[in-house]
Amino acid sequence: MRSRFRSDRRLTLRMGVTLFLLGLLYVAFIAALLVLLKSWVLVVVVAAGLLGAQYWFSDRIALYAMRGRVVERAEYPELHAVVDRLSAMADMPKPVVAVSAMDMPNAFATGRNAEHAVICVTDGLLRRLEPGELEGVLAHELSHVAHRDVAVITVASFLGVIAGLIVRFAFYSQLFGGGRRDQNTAVVFMAVMGVSAAVYAISFLLIRALSRYRELAADRAAAQLTGRPSELAAALTKVTGDIARIPTRDLRTAQAFNAFYFTPALGREPGIARLFSTHPTLEERLEQLGRMSAELGEGTGTGR
């Protein structure tokens, strides 16, 4: 599928390198589990099953987790109209449109390809943004689909997910059943935990490095498509400020999906979390949009 979104070779290169490195890590991970657990049937079946489920059902999983539901044109005619217009401008299939019943202002795209993509916005976003700002956010999400980085992030995050699950399983198995195991079994479980923890940490860092760049790429692509970088900058400023005022306890569930969001669900004082953020800083994003706005003769691009 080719769209009118400008291709981004640096993004494509980064996605390729990330998938290659994660592929090597995945092979090493499976090999280590085979050696430690000595049951290739268990390892292969569980790994293949989880990967297949995450690839084929990622859109449904994300919508369920974020309380999203598919909405028809009759329910949200203005939202559908914007998605229709942007899809036509980008020469792309129209994605499924969904709305999440969350007050947190945000949006995300999911799905394995353009023909099976979903763009979801929250009620909080729809209430807060002006039409031009909403168009900028939706163009940003649509560019993720066009560049295929949604599918890449979905597949790439699988390794971290399975490693994290194994760490939890090994930990609780050892914690609640340690008295019934011999010393050799305990050593195997500790080794599995160690390998899984290392794999999780490496995949965590690789995915976040890719995620930060893909957000800048999506901002650029959206601004180029709409021709109004200042609207996207205004949306970024408004959404980031409003999220900072939402109680941290209300953001905890959402934070697991930060890599997919338009802007991360962070509280007032993210602290060290900035070092491992899935997104570049607001200042970086506004600076890029400001440059693009000046090139287009649109103004400063820092807000309305």
Residue given tokens 């607001």 in the structure block = 282
pLDDT of the residue at 161: 63
pLDDT at 264 over 50: yes
Q: What is the DSSP letter of 7?
A: P
Rounded Cα–Cα distance for residues 134 and 29 (Å) = 42
pLDDT digits (tens, 9 = 90+) for 127-181: 999 999 999 999 999 999 999 888 888 777 666 666 666 666 655 655 445 544 5
Neighbours of 284 (CB within 10 A): 14
Q: What letters, b where the CB count within 10 A reaches 16 and e where it falls short, cover 98-126?
A: bbbebebbbbbbbbbebebbbbbbbebbb
pLDDT band at residue 99 using 50, 70 and 90 as cut-offs: very high
Q: Which residue has the higher pLDDT, 53 or 259?
A: 259
pLDDT of the residue at 82: 97
Rounded Cα–Cα distance for residues 123 and 136 (Å) = 17
CA separation, residue 265 to residues 128, 212, 238, 240, 253 (Å): 16, 14, 13, 9, 9
Pairing relation of β-strands 107-111 and 96-100? unpaired
Q: Furthest-apart CA pair in the chain: how many Å?
A: 72
In the set 133, 135, 141, 231, the catalytic residue is 141
pLDDT digits (tens, 9 = 90+) for 68-80: 899 999 999 999 9
CA separation, residue 199 to residues 167, 212, 216 (Å): 10, 20, 27
Q: The whole model's pTM is what? A: 0.80
Active site residue 287: no
Residue 287, annotated as binding a ligand: no
pLDDT of the residue at 300: 43
Residue 147, annotated as binding a ligand: no
pLDDT of the residue at 7: 77
Query: Phi and psi (nearest 5°) for 116?
Result: -130, 45
Pairing relation of β-strands 117-122 and 107-111? antiparallel
pLDDT at 8 over 60: yes
Q: Is 226 helix (H, G, I), strand (E, B) or coil?
A: helix
pLDDT of the residue at 124: 93
Residue 50: partners with Cβ closer than 8 Å, 6 or more residues away: 158, 161, 162, 165
pLDDT digits (tens, 9 = 90+) for 175-228: 445 544 556 666 766 776 777 777 778 877 888 888 899 999 999 999 999 999
Q: Is 67 helix (H, G, I), strand (E, B) or coil?
A: coil
Residue 215, annotated as binding a ligand: yes
Rounded Cα–Cα distance for residues 97 and 72 (Å) = 8
